[in-house]
Structure 1
Amino acid sequence: MDVEPFCNGYLHLKPKEASLVDLILLLFSSELKRQRFVDCPERHNYRSFGYRWLIFISVIAQKVLFSLRKPMATVGYVLELWLNLLSSNGGFFMILINGLKGKLVKPDRSSATFTSVVGNTDRRVELDSHIKPNNDGRYYASLSLMAAKFSYENKAFINNIVKNHWNMEFLGFYRFWNDYEKLFSTQAFLLQEKRVDPNVIVVAFRGTEPFDAIAWCTDVDISWRYVYCNDIVPRLPYDDRSLMFKHFGACFYYNSFYQGKVTKEEPNKNYFSLLWALPKYVNAVWELVRGFILPYIEGPDYGEGWFLRFFRVIGLVIPGLSAHGPQDYDNATRLGSLTSPLQAQDLIQ
């Protein structure tokens, strides 16, 4: 993999090529270039044992996750099917009754009602009616967040929400092929916010799926590149590309003359620090308690289902996990405040 023409510094890890012996030798050698599972410039040596230890942990985690990809995918498939079986039939007891009557409703994964595991943690589909699009700075933040949440759903589901619930224009649904992994790694959709400002186009990319081991490998991969990007042009079908340029100045836009730096930053450098363990456990307990209290304070829209509460119980064991659900981000947007209204141009900058 030759990345030198695109950047002046990089570190590329190849876990599949790393043996146990290679990983042990890594801990005792600062010359990473000699490691067959590491691709970096000749001049880059890492004498810090702490950095090499981080590489060691990253590669081990990726190899473990890769070995679990099929079991994780199976668990996710069954869980998603079960959650939709419950919602399609009206609960566990109705599954029994409908089964006895021969009227069991079987979920269709391509239907507009089939919901992902992520979607089942927050089943709200409507935009907050209290956030007015014309004079509330939270509107575009809320719209973007809801779009990001639905980026995990199938095309029919998203099309139905955008057109029939939000009264906006559904522009397209895309799945992106990862040629390195030889699989479809993510998906995205576009919508046009024509109710208030037709110049606003939202592009929502799906993040990490809970039971996608390959996606989790990406999250624990510390490979990085320091690049200067030039002449970035969107690789979209002609019609959508024309629309993007026609509505130049939308929430997400592409400029072929853009120049900038792309870097990878660690979001939480001290996640595994013992010093931060206690506050994370305290916060996990508070998240569970808050889920019961909030509906009584703010209304039934803030109620949590059994699945999300079960997820919060898991968060007591793995602190920090349950804090990253769409319900919490959605609540923060609905209940938060901004010092000044944000217009679409503010979001662009």
Structure 2
Amino acid sequence: MSKLDYCFSNDYMVLRPDRAGAYELLHLLFSPKVGRNKAVDCFTSTELHSFRRRLSIFLNLLLQLFLLSLVGPLVAVLGGALEFALNLASNVLHGRMEYPDRKSASYRSITGLIDPRVDLERSITPADSRYHAALCVMASKVAYENEAFIRDVVTHRWQMEFVQFFNCWNEFENAYTAQAFVFCDKATDAELVVVAFRGTPALDVARWCADVDPSWYKIPRLGRAHAAYTHALGAQRNIGWPKWVEHVKGKPQRVHAYYAIRDAVKRLLEANGRARVLVAGHGSGGALAVLFATVLAYHKEKAALDRLAGVYTFGQPRVGDAMLAMFAERNLDRPRKRHFRITYGDDPLPRLPHESSAAHFLHFGIRLHFDSLYNLKVVKELPGDGSSSSSAAEFATSRINAAWELARSAYLGYWRSAYCREGWLLMAARAAAVALPGLPFHRVQDYVNAVTLAGSNIPKDM
């Protein structure tokens, strides 16, 4: 990438771990002239006199280098082998004496193996106040699977209409970094159109780096937006967010997430006059979901926004600054609240990017927080009321909470609901979370449990 790729922005700061050597890292510690540092793409005249902010960038680059160079290859090999072995064992246990095919409807990701549930709890019907949230969290969970698996679940288990799976191109990384699928509740005269974005796959270290990366662009009329999620959603080199993307003759046509999904949703709304739209995602998928709705507003897609029933995100990280937060709230939460940001316990992802980053990323929307007993607290947060950073005390507390969750899970299925009964693999993952910091807490099954056990407390709108 060159700095010309960012010319659509009137201000930006993009970290480049691929160009971070010893000199660049030391330069960050001792010189405020970050605009001259190869590891940071920004205007040449940019200076950061705050040592704390430069130290934050330094540590973030070190973390990304560590993940990409050491952890990434190890996770790819060992994690891939574990996923394959577990699928082989599952085939044998279910009487399917066949070699696991990663593209088949029976192949599951690590997420799907840990928690095999794909159906909603029986008591949750379309008339239930939990229905939108429950459908969205399950769709967000199923989004981690391959296209054949998703199609089979939507068509045969949910008895709904599968529309399309999207594997979307990232212009800045030259890779497919965003996946989503769209389905309707009925084949004809649909009442719901659901868009579910995939979150960060458990074995994709490059996407872990995207989650911790505090890089940003300042987009006119919109504010500062998280760079990695902006890239994944389909921003274009040099021009950013044009309303339409033209196919360039002689170049392979790529599917860009925002544009392809927006057009699919608009076609479905035209064909189904009563349909309303739900947009959902877990983790980074939640970030893409709320940015998708925000860019719809940025492009003044009033017809689609008027029929937006809700944006439900689960463990969503921060996606922008105060200006973007106010823009999103003005367009998504008026005249009624439609963005529901659901968080659970000590999930670390909603605390990212770290608050000491230069962009001062903030949360927005209605926060529905569940504690480790799945008790719900509704918090009407305003821009600026985000979570504070972690500390040594919070780290110790999170380990204690992990041990408590392990003990709780042993009897949860007998105490609260058989639907929440956990298998040996999930219990093993919870045991690992007692020792491992951070990401083991970011598990979608806790959000499925939380929504299921919330009773009538989850609002459809406010």
Q: Name the TM-score, length of structure 2 as normaliser.
A: 0.65
Gaps of 5+ in 1: 92-97
Q: Contact 2:161 / 2:183 at 8 angstroms: preserved in 1?
A: yes
SS in 2 for 1:188: strand
Q: Match of 2:109, as an amino acid?
A: S
- Identical-pair percentage: 35
Q: How many residues are aligned here?
A: 331
TM-aligned CA deviation for residue 133 of structure 1: 0.8
Bigger Rg, which one? 1
- Give CA deviations for 1:154-210 in whole Å, capped at 9, x if unaligned: 111111110111111101011112233222213111111229982421111111111
TM-aligned CA deviation for residue 66 of structure 1: 1.8
Task: Give the corresponding residue for 1:77.
Answer: 80
SS in 2 for 1:250: strand
Q: Does 1:176 align with 2:203?
A: no
Please, which moves more after superposition, 48-57 or 238-247?
238-247
SS in 2 for 1:60: helix
Task: Give the corresponding residue for 1:34.
Answer: 36
SS in 1 for 2:122: coil
- Give CA deviations for 1:129-166 in whole Å, capped at 9, x if unaligned: 111212x1110101011011111111111111101111
The verdict on how the C-alpha distance between 1:12 and 1:321 changes in structure 2, with shifts beyond 3 A counting, is: closer
Q: Contact 1:121 / 1:308 at 8 angstroms: preserved in 2?
A: yes
- Give CA deviations for 1:64-102 in whole Å, capped at 9, x if unaligned: 2221433321222211111111111118xxxxxx9xxxx
Q: Does 1:148 align with 2:140?
A: yes
Q: Contact 2:201 / 2:207 at 8 angstroms: preserved in 1?
A: yes
Q: Name the TM-score, length of structure 1 as normaliser.
A: 0.85
Task: Give the corresponding residue for 2:300.
Answer: 257
Kindly report the root-mean-square deviation, in angstroms, between the aligned alpha carbons of the 2 structures. Answer: 2.8
Q: Match of 1:240, as an amino acid?
A: A
Q: Does 1:275 align with 2:393?
A: yes
Q: Contact 2:136 / 2:278 at 8 angstroms: preserved in 1?
A: no
Quick one: higher RCO (CA 8 Å, sep 6+), 1 or 2?
1
Which residue, out of 243, 247, 256, partners 2:267? 243
The verdict on how the C-alpha distance between 1:184 and 1:336 changes in structure 2, with shifts beyond 3 A counting, is: same
SS in 2 for 1:211: coil
Which residue, out of 91, 97, 107, partners 2:100? 107
The verdict on how the C-alpha distance between 1:239 and 1:53 changes in structure 2, with shifts beyond 3 A counting, is: closer
Q: Contact 2:101 / 2:107 at 8 angstroms: preserved in 1?
A: yes
Which residue, out of 135, 146, 159, partners 2:151? 159
Task: Give the corresponding residue for 1:311.
Answer: 429
Please, which moves more after superposition, 142-151 or 295-304?
295-304
Q: Does 1:127 align with 2:129?
A: no
The verdict on how the C-alpha distance between 1:7 and 1:237 changes in structure 2, with shifts beyond 3 A counting, is: closer
Q: Contact 2:162 / 2:184 at 8 angstroms: preserved in 1?
A: yes
Task: Give the corresponding residue for 2:111.
Answer: 118
Higher helix share: 1
The verdict on how the C-alpha distance between 1:104 and 1:124 changes in structure 2, with shifts beyond 3 A counting, is: same
Please, which moves more after superposition, 42-51 or 184-193?
42-51
The verdict on how the C-alpha distance between 1:197 and 1:292 changes in structure 2, with shifts beyond 3 A counting, is: farther
Q: Distance in 1 between matches of 2:198 and 2:115?
A: 16
TM-aligned CA deviation for residue 127 of structure 1: 1.2
Q: Distance in 1 between matches of 2:26 and 2:168?
A: 36
Gaps of 5+ in 2: 223-240, 245-257, 280-292, 303-318, 323-348, 355-387
Please list every run of at least 4 consecutive aligned residues from structure 1 whose deviation after the TM superposition is greater than 6 angstroms: none
